[in-house]
Structure 1
């Protein structure tokens, strides 16, 4: 549905000021019908990437192709036509306060010149789809944050888009409301066959809804693939850092992690259980291997991409002999591990 082909985007570089490179040679594709997440820290280039898709920005070099059409080469009139095929939902909803929920959803249809009868037949079912059939006459000031975002989603679907862009659509919402909005997006993807491209800084969002993910850092895609694969075996340091932030470690422990051990320190290790290791009693065997020195600090089991996925954080002596025994055990059992660091 979307392909980025050697895309670079620079800002500035005039009046003697140095240019800022927001994106640097991006090569990436978004499959038809997939829910693809772009995740990264603030300033990584996420918003610039998504603005290239709907033509709000043009690449300095390279191509952005949406459903076979190169966005950067379109005239203004052709670009307007493409944008009707691309829905957009925003972090802060962007509803017009003077218009009801019905009229906010109707707005893109009015701009496209659709007649009033067709608009009425279209908007009502859309509000029903997002669970707001009884809020048609309500104004934004009368709606909760989650309801406002549902109106925004209905509005994004008004022109029957092929592609839905989500720009941090849940970051202004509480956890419970976030979950309901993500479930709605997942249902829309399944029922309408709509391709969804979402940007976020939250691993929890990617884990909940996305099938595929790309990690962006300083204008570069540093890692991409299936969400399950990145959770199970993150390759890049940025990915590991983003994953670490989602671990349920107490603050005092997370802030005391050191990259290099001192005498007497303990290794902090994340054990990942999936596939053939998901249902084996490997923790008990690790304790038997290392002795009672093993402490379990955090853990949980869940489903990612329809597959069981468990994660356990343990600590044990950073003594080289203990580390060697642990590593030998991991190699024999096929257990995936990640050293998070060391603690006193």
Structure 2
């Protein structure tokens, strides 16, 4: 089924009784959809006191048509960042632009215009319990003054798109968590936005439902060319859906790039920590990791296979180099951004001579590695 173009079905402005929803600016393929320029956001400033700095000098762009993930721990500044995009918060300094227009300079009328073009889905769905699935999706169109026939012509195919055509008359209390989120996605698409914001949209869902929601978002992105900006604390979500990723820590972007590059070769400690939580190591092993070795300890190393190294039998050669001391603890082969990617966690003696032989082998073969820590 083709995703409906809600804009094509919209009522003319004179029918709807509203001013037309104009493009925010003339778009160019090269220009980013969203740009943060030296953005700082502080809360609680009063009496000369600086207050709490939630965002500190953010410089970051979201490519047009991409799915970009913002990942970080709780309290890192993710939600504040995304609320600046649709004007729910205003930057204390710096500029936030969406499709070339500075959000902070918009009037109330301008912000309403912006929010019609920026859809948003939420962690806890934010559906009105007294309205059916159909009526929840129709709400932003009703607010815009669209006539009933046009609403019906737009909402019905949107519910079909998200797999809820037979649930139009159901209330939120009659829907599962995944179905509620699908209603939320359909509602976010009702005004034909050019940008979709996702605020931890899958964190309240089980893994199977999460997967289905991510597949739906990927389909929407591919068929509509809709730019998606999502925030999450789950590295698995970023790996599954995002083409690009930025890591935020204590209000600063500490690392950014293509998802494949960041996942394959993390540069910042925060990124490495977030990746470690996705490695599926036993809890007792994760809890026992130390930053520095003691005599007799073993080192845990993540080996990353991609590009030329993805198809070479390097693990067997490592065992030959170090002997039977090598233990394989976890691993898998997957695809990130359409590229083959393998990850293997091994352990061996942290004795200096063994580590030196291993490092020499890595340098000779071009194998990408990351030391995860040490265990007794």
TM interval, short-chain normalised: over 0.9
Task: Check whether the contact 2:121–2:185 (CA below 8 A) recurs between aligned residues.
Answer: yes
- Listed as ranges, the gaps of 5+ residues in structure 2 are 1-32
1:52 aligned to which of 81, 84, 107? 84
1:30 aligned to which of 62, 84, 103? 62
- CA deviation vs aligned residue, 1:213-246 (integer Å, no higher than 9, x gap): 0000000000000000011100000000000010
Task: Check whether the contact 2:42–2:50 (CA below 8 A) recurs between aligned residues.
Answer: no
Q: Does 1:135 align with 2:167?
A: yes
- How far the C-alpha of 1:15 sits from its partner, in A, is 4.7
1:317 matched to which residue of 2? 349
1:221 aligned to which of 247, 253, 262? 253
- How far the C-alpha of 1:248 sits from its partner, in A, is 1.1
1:242 matched to which residue of 2? 274
1:10 matched to which residue of 2? 42
2:298 aligned to which of 241, 251, 266? 266
- How far the C-alpha of 1:13 sits from its partner, in A, is 2.1
- How far the C-alpha of 1:282 sits from its partner, in A, is 0.3
1:340 matched to which residue of 2? 372
Which SS does the other structure have where 1:13 is aligned? Answer: coil
* Cα distance in 1, alignment partners of residues 340 and 39 from structure 2: 36
1:156 matched to which residue of 2? 188
1:106 aligned to which of 138, 147, 153? 138
1:125 matched to which residue of 2? 157
1:191 aligned to which of 223, 226, 231? 223
Q: Does 1:285 align with 2:317?
A: yes
Runs of 4+ with >6 A deviation: none
* Cα distance in 2, alignment partners of residues 246 and 174 from structure 1: 16
Give TM-score, length-normalised by structure 1: 0.99
* Cα distance in 1, alignment partners of residues 320 and 236 from structure 2: 34
- Listed as ranges, the gaps of 5+ residues in structure 1 are none
1:294 matched to which residue of 2? 326
1:166 aligned to which of 198, 203, 209? 198
* Cα distance in 2, alignment partners of residues 15 and 73 from structure 1: 25
1:93 aligned to which of 114, 125, 146? 125
Q: Does 1:305 align with 2:337?
A: yes
The Cα RMSD (Å) is 0.7
Task: Check whether the contact 2:70–2:232 (CA below 8 A) recurs between aligned residues.
Answer: yes
Which SS does the other structure have where 2:316 is aligned? Answer: helix
* Cα distance in 2, alignment partners of residues 247 and 137 from structure 1: 42
